[in-house]
Each structure stands twice: as structure tokens, then as C-alpha cells.
Amino acid sequence: MQVTMTVNGTEVTSEVEPRLLLVHFLRDHLRLTGTHWGCDTSNCGTCVVWMDGEPVKSCTVLAAMASGHEVRTVEGLAHDDGTLDAIQQGFMQCHGLQCGFCTPGMMMTTRALLDRNPHPSEGEIREAISGQICRCTGYATIVRSVQWAAEHPDGTVPATTDEPAAAPAEPATEPAAGATQPVPAGSAS
């Protein structure tokens, strides 16, 4: 069957099997491999993309169901001029990832959270990602990354105000006139 959808702002049309899942359509037909496929049982959440602006687990959606809709993947999170979205910058600034496998889904879910709730509480962040699994971070840095993005909505990293430590004074390279030179070990006396 033929499906047509808008993916990251570009209309795509393709022939697919009616049973093809959206996650496989994105990864295998469009080569948008930023969307990960982890469990196939709708538990891990690494496959989250947006459909018409709402996060969905793309392993629970047929490509045919997405036909006629607007899909956005992690490849479409950055701005048109190439600058990172605040949530991407937050994950960088706060070490919100280790292996990175859960990260695309985490970012798509939490970006959507910030769009509807620009200043979520820690509990609201944890609730938003409760359908997603991270096996590395213990979630604390993910929560902090989302809080950073909420505090810096344009994603701009504040310039540091710390002055670099003053360099130590260079030792004199020329011995003072008449000073005794050290004798290298093993040299003839």
C-alpha cells in the first residue's frame, strides 16, 4: 500500500507492507536511524516520535496509521539554522546520557512536555518519562537536563564568569652572573 506523510517538514511517499510499523518505516525506509528500536513490547520508549505534535511510541503505530499525518523525529529537533534545541543542549550540559540509547525518545518526550508545561516540577518530569527506560543514568541527570532546558528556553549556554587562574611566573632561564651551575649526574668532574 502507499503511504504519504510529512516527516521533519518534508513530504514522503512510499510503498509499504500494511503491517509495517512506523519505527521500521522511519529507520529502514527513510534511514532516520536516530529513532531507536529497543523492546518491541511498548515498554522502553526509545522509539518515541511526534505525530501531529504528540509523542507516540512508534513501535505501536503502523506506518499506514501515520499516513496523512505530520511526524517529527529526533533528527528534526534542531532549529533550521542548525543550532540545537534547548532540550538537546540541556542533555549536553547536564550529562543526560551515557550510552545514548534511550536519549532520542527521552528528548522527544521531554521537549513535548516543555511545550505544554514550560516549567515542570521534578515530579512532573519524572511522570512524563515514566513510560521510558534508561539503564545508565539513574534518571537524575535526565531530570536535571530537562530543568536546564526549562531555565534556558533558547538553549543558549551562559558565558562563564570565572576568570582563568593567573599563570605562574616563569622561572628565570638565564642564571645570574657568577651563580654556580648544577652538575648533571654522571658528568666528569
Q: Contact residues for ligand FES (CB under 6 A)?
A: 37-40, 42-47, 57, 59, 97-103, 134-137
The bridge status of strand 70-72 relative to strand 2-7 is parallel
Nearer to ligand FES (CB atom), residue 7 or residue 129: 129
Nearer to ligand FES (CB atom), residue 134 or residue 189: 134
Residue 170 CB, shortest distance to ligand FES, in Å, is 45
Residue 160 CB, shortest distance to ligand FES, in Å, is 26
Contacts of 62 by beta carbon, 8 Å cutoff, 6+ apart: 18, 19, 20, 21, 22
Cell numbers standing for residue 34: 536516530
Residue 176 CB, shortest distance to ligand FES, in Å, is 59
Nearer to ligand FES (CB atom), residue 128 or residue 134: 134
What phi and psi, each to the nearest 5 degrees, are found at residue 152?
A: -130, 70
Residue 39 CB, shortest distance to ligand FES, in Å, is 3
DSSP secondary-structure letter at 6? E
Q: Do the Cβ atoms of 89 and 149 come closer than 8 Å?
A: yes
